[in-house]
């Protein structure tokens, strides 16, 4: 278990496409554990490996619902429906938020830490988190697709 340093925009690693994980090794499993520790320490709801400088297709998500911690290797969205529009933030872009349009529900599949194929369907915040983290694996930040980006004060208010 280790807390990793979160890479901030404009670091180039955030704009690159992550590579598929071909084999699940103890190092990949340690990466998942470290990513979860890092996400919880930073009080986030998701983290993608590029956010800690590692170009591998690995994400962790925990939005505080019944699913708990979700670890996905080589995740992909297999279906989406509906639409939601709302604020989004990112651990790699501290102090800012953006208004982003996303699917309301997505189904994702990938591998768990043991190489077993898993599928999750999420709505609202979980759907947003899946889309946000998978975007990271493709070098896309929410600021690339936001309709509006704004600064947030330490108190959580929009800054003029």
pLDDT, tens digit (0-9, with 9 covering 90-100), for 29-85: 999 999 999 999 999 999 999 999 999 999 999 999 999 999 999 999 999 999 999
Q: Supply the range of the domain harboring residue 29.
A: 12-151
Is residue 43 situated within a structural domain? yes
Q: Residue 3: inside a domain, yes or no?
A: no
Residue 36, domain member (yes or no): yes
For 111-125, what is each residue's pLDDT tens digit? 999 999 999 999 999
Identify the pLDDT of residue 155: 83
Is there a domain that residue 7 lies in? no
Say whether 50 counts as a known binding-site residue: no
As annotated, the active-site residues are 133
160 located within any domain: no
Q: Does a structural domain hold residue 55?
A: yes
Q: Is 90 annotated as a binding residue?
A: yes
Question: In this structure, what CATH number is given to the domain that contains residue 107?
Answer: 3.90.45.10
Residue with tokens 């690995």: 58
Is residue 157 situated within a structural domain?
no
* CB burial string 122-145: b at 16+ within 10 A, e below: beebbbbbbbbbbbbbebbbbbee
Domain total of the chain: 1
132 labelled ligand-binding: yes
Locate 158 and state its tokens.
């929009």
- pTM of structure: 0.96
Alpha-carbon span 111 to 101, nearest angstrom: 27
């Amino acid at each position: 278990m280790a807390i990793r340093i979160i890479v901030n925009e404009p670091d180039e690693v955030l704009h690159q496409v992550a590579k598929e994980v071909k084999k699940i090794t103890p190092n990949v499993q340690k990466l998942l554990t470290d990513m979860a520790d890092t996400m919880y320490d930073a009080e986030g709801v998701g983290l993608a490996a590029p956010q800690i400088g590692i170009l591998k297709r690995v994400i962790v998500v925990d939005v505080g619902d019944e699913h708990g911690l979700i670890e996905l290797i080589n995740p992909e969205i297999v279906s989406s429906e509906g639409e939601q529009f709302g604020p989004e933030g990112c651990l790699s872009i501290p102090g800012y938020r953006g208004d982003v349009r996303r699917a309301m529900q997505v189904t994702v599949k990938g591998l768990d830490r043991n190489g077993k194929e898993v599928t999750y369907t999420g709505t609202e915040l979980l759907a947003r988190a899946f889309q946000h983290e998978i975007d990271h694996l493709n070098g896309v930040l929410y600021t690339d697709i936001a309709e509006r980006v704004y600064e947030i004060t330490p108190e959580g208010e929009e800054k003029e």
